[in-house]
Chains A and B, each alone.
Chain A
Amino acid sequence: MNEKTATLKKDFLFGLWQNVPPFRLMLGLCASLAVTGMARNSLAMALSVAFVLIGSNVAVSALRRFVPDSVRIPVFVVIIATFVTIVDLFLRGWFPPLSKAMGPYVPLIIVNCIILGRAEAFAFKNPVLNSLLDAVGHSLGYLWALLLIGCIRELLGYGSLFGIQVLGAWFQPWVIMILPPGAFLTLGAVLGFFNLVSRRR
């Protein structure tokens, strides 16, 4: 029992630091660049990815004995696409402005390599409970990574956080941070910093 809890804990923590998707795996970068102009959009994107990742990991893991090896990738893609459609329609129905702000990047979650990567590398080989925890761990890892980038860009680009003005009138917004180049520069700098920290350890 103890051993089992230990593996569960390990599976959960793996995605939180050791395997943080955008920084360690270099996966799911499109979304982490495109919608992180504001912290609110980052949060929405991370939660959408979390829903799809958890749903698809559990579904893939539950179906792993019934899916033949040779057609597993198309099956994964259809499962993922179904969950993404649920998210897309949900956002369109309940949060139209948010859905508009993220635009076509919501359907793009289908080709977010993190989700297919976890399905292939973990969920297809492990029991449902472990896969669930693996998905939750990676979702939280993705969440903090996206929030970090979103907060940096919004703070420097608008002087606000989650739409609330934080920096005073003296602050001259760095317009570049909300434009495409700012996304690349921020992610590059954060990644460099992350490497520096993990090197020191």
Chain B
Amino acid sequence: MLKEIVLLMLGSILINNFVFAYFLGTCPYLGVTDKLSSSLSLGAATTFVMTLTAPIVWLINNYLLVRFNLIFLQNVTFILVIAVLVQLVEMFIRKTSPVLYRTLGIFLPLITTNCCILFLAILIPIREYSLVTSLFFGIGSGLGFMLALIIMAGIREELSLADIPPSLKGAPLTLILAGLIALSFMGFAGLL
């Protein structure tokens, strides 16, 4: 059991990284990675929501949708669950920790439309995870997303003064960098 969880976590952080292997969350990835601090906040918020989403989606899927033969409603249900969850998390953080709330700021409501979360929800029934493994799948995937954000933000901060062709500035350069990082991440494929 422990071995399975460790492998799953390592796999979802390094090998099946949501950004580099599945191209998820590309929009926030291009949007916020110009600063290390905002990348950290967004990464933390996303990981937090993913950790909560995974077990809740598992419970709803197994105890509501499968039991009452409503699988065709999966897509609609999952996006609603995510939207409600993000809203609840936002309210909870605002009440309990105003400092954290201010740090996360606009990123919190935007998480609803981050494709990482919906993809995570859809994968849980497809891969037939159990409650515990889906929890760790959520944590691992969130950490993987955070790692991708931090790496890119670090590189882009270093590059801010570099002399690059004007038409490549911003998004094109970020995408090419992401391609190179993805290439190096492919090296992890032989790890497990």
Do A and B belong to a common assembly?
yes
Number of inter-chain CB pairs below 8 Å = 120
**A181 with B179: CB separation less than 8 A:** yes
Separation of A5 and B30 alpha carbons in the complex (Å): 38
Checking A82, A108, A199 against B115 with a beta-carbon cut-off of 8 angstroms, the contacting residue is A108
**B183 with A181: CB separation less than 8 A:** yes
Could you tell me how many residues of chain A have their Cβ less than 8 Å away from some Cβ of chain B? 40
Checking B72, B76, B171, B179 against A26 with a beta-carbon cut-off of 8 angstroms, the contacting residue is B171
Closest residue of chain A to B21 (Cβ to Cβ) is A180
Checking B27, B75, B168 against A85 with a beta-carbon cut-off of 8 angstroms, the contacting residue is B75
Interface residue? A196 (CB, 8 A):
yes
Distance of A31 from chain B, by nearest CB (Å): 8
Known: A89-B72, A104-B126, A116-B113. A30 touches B179 (CB 8 A): no
Checking A29, A84, A107, A192 against B172 with a beta-carbon cut-off of 8 angstroms, the contacting residue is A192
Distance of A72 from chain B, by nearest CB (Å): 13
Could you tell me how many residues of chain B have their Cβ less than 8 Å away from some Cβ of chain A? 44
Chain B proximity mask over A73-87: 1 for CB below 8 Å, otherwise 0 = 010011001101100
Task: Chain B residues near A74: list those with CB within 8 A.
Answer: 80, 83
**A188 with B173: CB separation less than 8 A:** yes
**A199 with B118: CB separation less than 8 A:** no
Interface residue? A185 (CB, 8 A):
yes
Known: A181-B182, A188-B176. A81 touches B75 (CB 8 A): yes
**B75 with A84: CB separation less than 8 A:** yes
Task: Chain A residues near B179: list those with CB within 8 A.
Answer: 181-185, 188
Contact residues of A: prevailing secondary structure:
helix
A residues engaging B (CB < 8 A)? 26-27, 29-30, 33-34, 74, 77-78, 81-82, 84-85, 88-89, 104, 107-108, 110-113, 116, 176, 179-185, 187-189, 191-193, 195-196, 199
**A184 with B175: CB separation less than 8 A:** yes
Separation of A113 and B118 alpha carbons in the complex (Å): 13
Instruction: Give residues 62-113 of B contacting A (CB, 8 Å).
Output: 72-76, 78-80, 83, 112-113
Checking B23, B114, B168, B174 against A111 with a beta-carbon cut-off of 8 angstroms, the contacting residue is B114
**B75 with A110: CB separation less than 8 A:** yes
**A108 with B119: CB separation less than 8 A:** yes
**B75 with A104: CB separation less than 8 A:** no
Task: Chain A residues near B20: list those with CB within 8 A.
Answer: 180
Instruction: Give residues 151-186 of B contacting A (CB, 8 Å).
Output: 165-168, 171-176, 178-180, 182-183, 186
Interface residue? B26 (CB, 8 A):
yes
**A188 with B172: CB separation less than 8 A:** yes
Task: Chain A residues near B114: list those with CB within 8 A.
Answer: 111
Distance of B104 from chain A, by nearest CB (Å): 19
Distance of B76 from chain A, by nearest CB (Å): 4
Distance of A162 from chain B, by nearest CB (Å): 22
Distance of B29 from chain A, by nearest CB (Å): 8
Give the most central of B30, B72, B122, B123: most A CB within 10 Å: B122
